[in-house]
Amino acid sequence: MIADCTAIILAGGQSSRMGQDKASLRFGEQTLLQNVLSILQPCFAETFVSVRELRSEISQRQIFDDLKYRGPLAGLLVALEAAPTPWIFLVACDMPFITIEMVEYLAAQRQHHHQAVVPRVQEHPQPMAAFYNKNASEQIRAVLQDPTAKHSLRSVLEKLDTLYVEADSLREVDPQLRSFFDLDTPSDLVQASLLR
C-alpha cells in the first residue's frame, strides 16, 4: 500500500472521439471505470473519482470539476486540493491495462523535491498516469488563471519540478508498456478487448 498517496481516477471527460461516455463503456464484466477502480483500490488507502456530475453507480468519493475551468488540468487541481495525502496518483478511466506493479514502480521514483513523476513513452509524457505532489497546486492554479497560458497537463509539467521516467526503465515492470494504452475511439476499444 502507498500510504502517502490518494488515487484519483479521471472520469469527467467529454469522450467526443469515442462518441459516448467512456467511463461507463463495458470492458469484459465491468465498465472501464470499475475496471480501473478494481486495479487501484488494493494499492491505496483512498481512491477518489473526478467527475463533472454525480455518478450514482459508484460508491467511491467523487470530486467535482471547478466550473470556472475545463479539462484534465482543472481535474488535477481539484484532486490535489481534495486529497488528504501529500501525493496523488492521477489516472484516466480509459487506461484499462494499468498495473499495480507499474504504479508501485513509479511511486518508488519519487523524491521529496519532485512535484511530478511522469512516465515518458516514445518521447511523449504520459501525464494521465502519473504522481503529483500537493505543492504543485499553486503553480497549476496560476496557469489556469492566466488566459494567455496553455491549459494542458503537458505544458504545466514544464513549470514543475518533474521527474520523467523513461520507457527503458518502465519495461522492467511492463515489457510491452500496455499500462499506457488508452482508449480514445471505438477502434481502440475493439483492440483493447482483443488484448484482454
Q: Dump pLDDT digits (tens) for 131-159.
A: 999 999 999 999 998 888 888 888 899 99
Given this model, what pLDDT does residue 29 score? 84
Which element (helix H / strand E) includes 88?
strand 87-92
**Domains of the chain with bracketed CATH:** 5-195 (3.90.550.10)
pLDDT confidence tier of residue 118, bands split at 50, 70 and 90? very high
Q: Three cell numbers at 41?
A: 483500490
Answering whether pTM is above 0.85, one says yes
Look up residue 44 and give its DSSP letter: -
Q: What is the dihedral of CA 58, 63, 68, 74, to 10 degrees?
A: -100
